[in-house]
Amino acid sequence: MRIGTPIPHKKARIEIIPLIDIMFFLLASFMMVSLTQVHMKGIRVSLPAGQSGETQSKRDYISVSVDANGYAYFDKELMDYDKLLAVLQKTHQENPEAKVFVRGDANTAHINVVRVLEILRSVGYYKIAFEIKSEAAKGVPAPGGIGTKPGF
């Protein structure tokens, strides 16, 4: 004998619309995070601090670094100044409108950075930005350039 209940019996359903909403939210969040990530091309140097400067987009850029010993780097590759000149000439032929960021160690001699600037100008790059450490991030160490601002 079967006894009926006054409560109507419903089958369980899986609602897919809230699941789709959550998936679109996650997709949009991950896309926004991936677009704002900074890909560091330069070597780790102790950047000088500065109060002025403006944050710039670092997409499709060239990083030229000078470490504390005066050695020049193109992206993260150590090279002498003659090889740097050849690499920059080739890069300028491929993309003459590329942005150039110079990362000079705070403890390097001024002449080393000036030499890199002369090479960049002789190749044809005239829009050059210097990366500096932001005063706001001065108390916080900047591993790999996090919290840095390129300034002119």
With beta carbons less than 8 A apart as the criterion, state whether 132 and 148 touch: yes
- All domains of the chain, ordered by start, with CATH? 49-151 (3.30.420.270)
pLDDT number for residue 8: 76
Question: What does the block give as tokens for 115?
Answer: 């030499």
Q: Kindly report the average pLDDT of the chain as a whole number.
A: 78
Among the ranges given (7-16, 18-27, 33-42, 50-59), the one the predictor scored with the smallest mean pLDDT: 50-59
Residue with tokens 């710039």: 56
Radius of gyration of the chain, Cα coordinates, nearest whole angstrom: 26
Is the whole model's pTM more than 0.85, yes or no?
Answer: no
